[in-house]
Structure 1
Amino acid sequence: MRRYGEEDVRRLRFIKSAQTAGFTLEEIGELPALDSTDERPRARDMAHSRISALDVQIAELTSARVALSRLVDECSSSEPGPCPIISAFEP
């Protein structure tokens, strides 16, 4: 069984929280150094970049959700024929 000190636990929580916010491991490694050098503009730029990337992902997921919801509605109709959900993914 591994035992972690308080500093290790704090560091692991920091990493997990930053990952949840969308930062890469490379960016997460850079963040503490920015704090120690008072480089708020760089940290802010990194956060803005993550927000932009998340906005793109949200738009893609929203589009996929709309398309899949439309297929579910089409599949719910009583019209005979192949299932629209399955047909949509066939080559």
Structure 2
Amino acid sequence: MSESLTIGGLAKAAGVHVETVRYYQRRGLLREPARPLNGIRRYAAADVSRLRFIKHAQESGFSLDEVNALLGMSGRPACRASRAVAAKKLEAIEERIRMLSRLRRGLRIWVAACDANTGDSCPALERLAR
């Protein structure tokens, strides 16, 4: 990979859109290189790595604020700190799964009630109105 990429090349190398790169720059997650006389900003391989890190962290469920905190961590103490962030995220995801499981059970009951209904009205909709 070239050591000097345009914003389009950076986006392509990291598998994101150019607007994503610009958004991350506005959020302070990714540096915005100086604009040289020819007006074309150049990015390095380290920028590709950082962009991939951001993308992978987001895919793991971290918010951009959490990603920003993770980006600031390095070294052995960072492992403990990142573990704490990950453990907190894991608990939030597990709570969300519990909530979604309750919703799924309720929706299954709803569907079954509709399937068994032989009347002119819908008991599930009537239950929502109460």
TM-score range, shorter chain: 0.7 to 0.9
1:79 equivalent in alignment to 2:85: no
What percent identity do the matched residue pairs reach?
29
Q: 43-52 or 76-85, which moves further after superposition?
A: 76-85
Residue 39 of structure 2: aligned partner? none
The one-letter code of the counterpart of 1:70 is I
1:22 equivalent in alignment to 2:61: yes
Residue 10 of structure 1: aligned partner? 49
- Tell me how far apart the structure 2 counterparts of residues 88 and 14 of structure 1 sit (CA, whole Å): 47
Total equivalences in the alignment: 91
What is the aligned counterpart of 1:35 among 36, 53, 74?
74
Q: CA RMSD in A?
A: 2.2
Q: Write 1 or 2 for the structure with the bigger share of helix.
A: 1
List alignment gaps of at least 5 residues for structure 2: 1-6, 11-42
Higher Rg of the two aligned structures: 2
Q: 1:63-83 CA distances to partner (integer Å, 9 max, x unpaired)?
A: 101100110001001421322
- Tell me how far apart the structure 1 counterparts of residues 117 and 91 of structure 2 sit (CA, whole Å): 42
Task: Give the C-alpha shift of residue 18 in structure 1.
Answer: 1.0
Q: 1:54 to 1:80 in 2, by over 3 A?
A: same
The one-letter code of the counterpart of 1:53 is A
Residue 35 of structure 2: aligned partner? none
Q: 9-18 or 42-51, which moves further after superposition?
A: 9-18
